Amino acid sequence: MRIDVIPNQYGTKAVLLRKTWCEGRRVRHKTVANLTGLDPAVVDGFRAVLRGGVVLDDPRKAFAIRRSLPHGHVAAVLGTMNGLGLRRVLGRKAERMRDLAFAAVAARIIDPASKLATARALDPETASTSLGSLLGLGPVTGNETLDMLDWLLKRQPWIERSLANRHLKDGTLILHDVSSSCLEGSKCTLAAFGHSRDGKRGKVQIVYGLLCAADGCPVAVEVFPGNASDPSTVSSQVDKVRKRFGIGRVALVGDRGMLTTARIREDLAPAGLDWISALKTADIRKLLQEGPDGAPAPLVPEALVPDAVAEVTGPDFPGERLMVCLNPRLRQERRRKREDLLKATEEALHGIAASVRSGRLKGREAIDRRVGRDVNRRKVGKHFEVDVADGSIAWRRREDRIAAEARLDGVYVIRTSLGPEAMGTEAAVDAYKSLAGVERAFRNAKTDLRIRPVHGCSADHVKAHVFMCMLALHVEWHMRRRLAPMLFEDDDREGARARRSSPVEKAEVSESAKAKADTKLTPDGLPVHSFRTLLDDLGTLTLNDASLPGRPDSLFRIATEPTELQARAFGLLGVDPDAYISVTG
């Protein structure tokens, strides 16, 4: 039996179900039915039956879905990591630990969790995504993930050197900043109380320093004890840049609390490294003083032009270029805030005076303690002169001190060892302000990747955990840049920066970013997402294990068809989702 399509004299085609057989040497045909008037889909059904197919009265019986796992976000992350060649960066030799580390970095982006939870998410019996299946990991235990951390920490110098070779060049800028995260447990030797950079007081913590390329791409990280100060982290980073990365000419960019005069003199200058930083307020005040022999002061705040940059030199900073900036918006905000704090402190003093008059607060010592507590709480006690007696209290503002502090409102000074031939004035200011990219990286690490709280008994496991998060941050940074047209992020930073008349001006978002924020839609009408919600949307694309009806051994794998939004995301990432259905090696 077969179906023949025969043209006729009227220009149409006849669709015939025919039976064919042989009689001797002759081939006989018999038309069983004329199917010309049937829908083409019905005709195709006949063809399928003739080829040995099965006719089903319910489409849901076409095949049985044995298991469905979230898959789209896995394909997006794995595709990006493979495009970056991260598997080879982790190790050239194919081995179990390398594959586990590769999976752990991907899992940290997809669904950050503890090492035990990650192991369960990768194991075939308890898998929560298609990640473990695609990588062919097989059974995974919690102890294996701990062994993977030990392996990864030993590979850290080689991996960071590989990333540095890609993103850092001789004569480039390197951004450096530090942050801290609280740590659970009491056995880790790195845990200590210290200055919390994220407001988690009363908890032991660790400190970690992040090195980024000039464009903000994370390249290396180092973990320090929780009581380490910002300046104490500089020397080890200098050694890493010079010895491990082998970069001779480089300019290190760090904030004023880290690249202090002492660190510049003791660490950077002997190593021959250039630097870009900023002056502390106490150092800026030195520029207000007259020079020797009555020379005019290098800095006169009243002569500064708002949103402009003035380059000066100072006797206390030999061999340095000083770029003085005046931000009028910052000046206005600081003056408003100071006045609010002064008024709040005066209200507290009025309350103390009322208590003294009513007799509820007696004795000079008791009044002094109350004044010290309430006046110093808002950090403006230096602007008040308070006279306390046994039964009275009086105060006044120190207008001279307030005026002296207000002279420097909105003024900041960028300092650098780079000569004008190496970097222009405005470029140096832009370079210092690019530290905001490192701060964004810390923010993403603490929110999207959940680097905190850190759980680890040994210092090595804590270091490996932070390093693994840095690798995930490296991948996420590349994904964010490619997916920027679909995210609530500025996809035209260079254009927005070019429209500024001065680097001192506040960074404005581009017109495309404003349009996305207003309409919540991309130019092609798709919903705008955050990075995390876009991953969640991609995760609705599932990978399904299915079988034919009545044949449970006929397993095959099929993925959900991508939606328009998902297809757009895969296109921006340069990832073919169909390439991530079978096991990848």
Judge whether residue 56 has pLDDT over 70: no
Residue 249, both tokens? 């000419």
Cβ atoms of residues 108 and 469 within 8 Å: yes
Decide: helix, strand or coil at residue 57. coil
Query: What is the average per-residue pLDDT within 535-546?
Result: 95
Judge whether residue 584 has pLDDT over 70: no
Judge whether residue 416 has pLDDT over 60: yes
pLDDT single digits (tens) 107-117: 999 999 999 99
Structure pTM?
Answer: 0.85
| pLDDT score, position 583 | 58
Asked if residue 231 has a cis previous peptide bond (ω within 30° of 0), the answer is no
Query: What is the average per-residue pLDDT within 87-106?
Result: 95
pLDDT single digits (tens) 68-93: 999 999 999 999 999 999 999 999 98
* Residue bearing tokens 């904030």: 255
CA distance 307 to 328: 7
pLDDT single digits (tens) 508-540: 888 889 999 999 999 999 999 999 999 999 999
Average pLDDT, the chain: 90
Q: Which helix (H) or strand (E) holds 56?
A: none
* Residue bearing tokens 């980024």: 212
Region label for 503, one of left (φ > 0), alpha (ψ between -120 and 50) or beta (otherwise): alpha
Distance of CA 480 to the CA centre of its chain: 8
Strands (E), 342-481: 384-388, 393-397, 411-416, 454-455
pLDDT single digits (tens) 270-293: 888 899 999 999 999 999 987 777
Which is more confident, 39 or 562?
Answer: 562
C-alpha to C-alpha distances, 220 to 15, 194, 216, 478, nearest whole angstrom? 69, 23, 12, 15
Cβ atoms of residues 538 and 567 within 8 Å: no
C-alpha to C-alpha distances, 416 to 232, 254, 278, 411, nearest whole angstrom? 20, 11, 8, 17
| pLDDT score, position 238 | 87
| pLDDT score, position 343 | 96
Query: What is the average per-residue pLDDT within 301-308?
Result: 90
| pLDDT score, position 511 | 85
pLDDT single digits (tens) 213-253: 999 999 999 999 999 998 989 988 888 888 888 887 889 99
Decide: helix, strand or coil at residue 420. coil
Give φ, ψ of 558 to 5 degrees: -140, 140
> For residue 21, what pLDDT band results from cuts at 50, 70 and 90?
confident
* Position 275, amino acid: W
Q: Which helix (H) or strand (E) holds 21?
A: strand 13-23
| pLDDT score, position 244 | 85
C-alpha to C-alpha distances, 167 to 100, 211, 218, nearest whole angstrom? 25, 11, 9
Beta bridge partners of 415: 277, 322
Cβ atoms of residues 242 and 271 within 8 Å: yes
C-alpha to C-alpha distances, 45 to 35, 123, 554, nearest whole angstrom? 12, 41, 22
| pLDDT score, position 129 | 96
Could you tell me how many helices (H) and strands (E) the chain has, helices first? 21, 17
Cβ atoms of residues 163 and 219 within 8 Å: yes
| pLDDT score, position 585 | 44
| pLDDT score, position 241 | 87
Cβ atoms of residues 201 and 214 within 8 Å: no
| pLDDT score, position 55 | 65
Q: Are strands 172-184 and 205-213 parallel, antiparallel or unpaired?
A: antiparallel
pLDDT single digits (tens) 460-483: 999 999 999 999 999 999 999 999
Render the burial of 301-310: b for 16+ CB within 10 Å, e for the rest: beebeebebb
Beta bridge partners of 175: 212, 253
% of residues, the chain, pLDDT over 90: 56
Q: What is the chain's alpha carbon radius of gyration, rounded to the nearest angstrom?
A: 34
| pLDDT score, position 51 | 80
pLDDT single digits (tens) 332-351: 999 999 999 999 999 999 99
First to last CA, the chain: 45
Query: What is the average per-residue pLDDT within 412-432?
Result: 92
